[in-house]
Amino acid sequence: MEDRPITPGFVADALSCLPLAGIAPAPLLARLGLPEDGASPLSTTEYGRLWTEIARVTGDEFFGLAARPMRPGSFALLCHASLGSETLAPALRRAIAFLAVVLDDPRGELTIRDGLAVIELTTAEPRSAFAYRTYWLILMGVACWLIGRRIPLRQVSFACPAPPQREDYQSFFGAPVLFGQPVTSLSFEATWLRLPVNRDEAALQRFLRGAPGNILVRYREDGGMAARVRHLLASQAPADWPDFPELARSFGMSTATLRRRLHAEGQSFAALKDARRATLARQFLQEASLSVADIATELGYSEPSAFYRAFRKWTGGSPAASRP
């Protein structure tokens, strides 16, 4: 199991529930042998240990982010409830129903629209991006394990503002991430719902011994054709990006083959370019020497107004509001 760093922002989000429960973070971190500043990246194994300890001392596997605590042991029961399904579709619906009973709010619903499986979350009151991210991590981490495959996402939307300095949401989900949207939702190709659940009780016991750290690893989208395209885009300035036929030639394949392989991963060249521009925009906005017009040019937009529209789509806010 590949172990990748969990960024300081997510670590800080997890620790933020402790003071509300009257628990000091530093002694807890010291007890686990983790950096006591709470501002250092952790391995997935270390983060899994932190998650388990926070759940133990607070009595909540959901970091105090839902209407009701997710009592320790709930995650294991969620896995047991989903295991008996023949395919992913009923397994996901069971898992969503289980989380609705345990958490009360947020509540999820799975629908199929235009060939996409769409899971929408509804809440009685606004919740943080970290709350929604934790829900997706639990649900989709279990879903990927049940079918033994990483499910590539098409898009993730948050009905809340973008958290400050959280560019890692994009890399974590491996799909376009939009903030300030009307509804919190996650989508992927509906064909994944037909895949069989190929786990048994013995496999579940092995899985639970590594949880929750293993769902952090399973959920990351680090491989495949989309990852190759992301790497290429990250290595060049937007003005130097190839067009789609040039990109296909550089990979030694036809445009039809490249389009089909990206589509199989729930991605498109346009969406990957959009996601890279969103990441660069947030980085450039931290530089006081660059005007919004300069940033628009750096990102390859013909005029600042096009950049304004794109940035509002990504974050729900204006570029000026994201300045330090």
Task: Show the low-confidence residues of the chain (pLDDT under 70).
Answer: 1-4, 165-167, 217-223, 264-266, 324
- Please tell me the CATH superfamily of domain 224-321, with its number: Homeodomain-like (1.10.10.60)
pLDDT the model gives residue 133: 93
CB 96 within 8 A of CB 138: no
Q: Where in the chain is the domain with CATH 1.10.10.60?
A: 224-321
One-letter amino acid of 273 = K
Whole-angstrom distance, CA of residue 126 vs CA of residue 89:
28
Residue of 99, 59, 60 lying closest to 78 (CA atoms) = 99
For residue 167, the model assigns a pLDDT of: 64
Cα 57 to Cα 34: distance, rounded to the nearest angstrom: 16
pTM of the model: 0.72
First to last CA, the chain: 38
User: What pLDDT digit, counting tens, does each position of 165-188 carry?
Assistant: 666 787 778 788 889 899 999 999
Tens of pLDDT, residues 103-112: 999 999 999 9
pLDDT digits (tens, 9 = 90+) for 206-239: 889 888 877 876 555 455 788 889 889 999 999 9
User: Other CB atoms closer than 10 Å to residue 188's CB: what's the count?
Assistant: 22
| 3-state SS record for 163-175 | CCCCCHHHHHHCC
Euclidean distance between CA atoms 282 and 149, whole angstroms: 32
Identity at 62, one-letter amino acid code: F
CB 318, CB 281: distance < 8 Å: no
pLDDT computed for residue 238 by the predictor: 93
pLDDT value of residue 66: 96
pLDDT at 318: 84
- Edge to edge, the sheet with strand 153-157 lists 107-113, 116-122, 184-189, 153-157, 177-178
Q: How, if at all, do strands 107-113 and 116-122 pair?
A: antiparallel
Beta strands 177-178; 153-157: pairing state? parallel
